[in-house]
Structures are given as C-alpha cells and as structure tokens.
Structure 1
C-alpha cells in the first residue's frame, strides 16, 4: 500500500518550487490553508466529496468553480490550475499532507526549525522570548516555538528540537538522583 505522504510529495514539491521561483511562498502558504478551510466547509454539505473515486457527488467543474469563487481575492490562473489538478485527479484528500510538506519545505528554505518547549509552568512572553533568543544564537537558526504545560515535570522544562531532547526538568534530575542512590 502506498503511503499518503508519498502520493502528496510530488504535489507539494511542485507547488513549493513554483512558489519559490515566483517569490510567492507567503501567498501560497496562506492560500493552501484557505483552500483547506473551504473544502472543510464543502465537506459538511457533501460528506463524500473527499473520497477519491470516479464517482463524485459534485461534477469536477462545479467543485472547481465553488472553490475558486470562494477564493475571490486569491484567485488567478495559477490558483485555478492548482485547484483543477487536485479536483480532476481526485487528490483533494491529499491537501492536509500537501500543506504539512509545504510548511516543512518552507521552514527548511527559511532556516526555521520547530521547537517544543514542555514546561512545568506557564512561561511569560518575556521568558519565552528570552529562551528562544538564547537558543537561536546557540543553534544558529530561527525557531518557531510551541509550549506544552506538563505539571509532572515539577519544575524546569524539556526542549525538543528536530530529533534531540534537552531535559532540564526537576523530575528527570530526581529520577537520576534516585538511580544513583539505588546503586549505592
């Protein structure tokens, strides 16, 4: 069975390369999210719309027109072509994966990495900004942070950047101390 990511990759790669070559990455970033919102609204009215079968609830032309008409301020020939390809090839179901892959390519192109900050307590904006600033200098790339509160850490925080975990929590320090004491 082919993975959805594998099917979506050529679409997201082509879209990103197109956006990069025309210097419209921000535009397409907003646009694909907007298209997804529109499709979700259409899906409520027509629940079977995202099934990629030969039989559709709406004819392709009608579905393309509904989406394009909903994108009035974003619409141009390139947008219409993109939407048409997804509709005609029955690939609307790939849009969430295309968006994820597009964002990953965008972040790599802009040298931005995601960081998860798992904290025992809510961080103030100043604390968060200071921490991100220090980490950006240390790692030499921009960071986009998401903060998760986990009271089990007792105090401190855990950082997850790419595939690395940095644990500065009291919980982990207590576990290490416990392990050390159990040896003796």
Structure 2
C-alpha cells in the first residue's frame, strides 16, 4: 500500500495544484472519482494488465469516460497511460480527496459507539472535536454492540478510546506494571 501511495502521490499533488490554480477543485474531484471507478471495474482492470498498448488503453478509458473528462482530465489519463500507471488511478483519487479535505480545513472522523448517538450527542461531539482539532469535522458514525459501552473516535492518527473494554485494558496494564 505504501508503495502505491508513493507512486500515486505526485499525480495527486500535481492534479490538486492544477485544480487550485484553475479554481476547479470540485470538477477535478468528479473527474478523478469517475475515472477511478471505471479503472476499478474488473473488466477494465483485466484490460490494463493485458497486451494493449498504452495509447489503446488511454483511448479506451477516455472513450468510456466520454464527456466526464475535460481536456485536462484526458491529458492526465494519457500521461498516466504512457507511464504505465493507469491502475493506480483509484489511489490518486483517494490522495486527491485527502488533499481537498486538508485544503478545506476539514477532517473525517470515524466514531464507533456501542449504541446509536442522538442528534444532540453528535452535535456536541462535533463541536468538541472541532475545537480540539481546529478543523471542520465530518462525522461518520457506526455501531458496534461488542464495545458494551462508550465509543472509539478516530481522526487520522488520533484515536480516543472511551469504551468499557478500553478502560479495563488500561487498568489491567496499569496494575501489571
């Protein structure tokens, strides 16, 4: 995964810088995610590892994407095809999305709780996290009954574990040391 990220990062950064310079970040998001979905299709993925030339692969992908790609998007596809990198397009789209999120001073936060959170709880949690992280927070909530009580909050590298199991594990570690 890290190797794919290393290869995809320059494409994502260059695309993002172009999008910022031309003030069309959203248009590039749509183009990249559509093209990434096309590349992720099993038939197209098999074609990418086949015997077609880079020009043929680029032409097929551009033809499938049709009016979903502007001239700059088609140029990106051609460059990635020439370098044999069309298969990493989904990773480029993911890294691009991360750059957009950072640019917009947003952070995606995953909240896994033992029980469903009420609207009020979500609002309070969001406000608290926005204050702590100094960014706009996008909550993605899910439920895991195995947690018994509490929640696990993940925002990038930050993990806050307030579950009953987490607290018992910390107590056990403290008693053993």
- Identify the TM-score tier after normalising by the shorter chain: 0.7 to 0.9
SS of the aligned residue for 1:123 comes to coil
1:67 and 2:61 correspond: yes
Partner of 1:142: 136
Q: How far does residue 150 in structure 1 lie from its aligned partner after superposition?
A: 2.3
Within-5 A mapping of 1:47-126: 47=46, 49-51=47-49, 56-126=50-120
Question: What CA distance in whole angstroms lies between the structure 1 residues aligned with 2:54 and 2:118?
Answer: 49
TM-score with structure 2 setting the length: 0.82
Deviation readout 1:8-49 (Å, 9 max, x if unpaired): 2211111111111111111111111100112233x41661x3
Aligned to 1:31: 31
5+ residue gaps, structure 2: none
How far apart, CA to CA, are the structure 1 residues paired with 2:51 and 2:82? 13
Separation (CA, whole Å) in 1 of partners of 2:128 and 2:34: 34
Q: Is the contact between residue 34 and residue 68 of structure 2 (CA under 8 Å) also seen in structure 1?
A: no
| Residues 40-91 of structure 1, C-alpha deviations (whole Å, 9 max, x = no match) | 33x41661x333xxxx433333332332233233232211101111112110
Equivalent pairs counted in the alignment come to 175
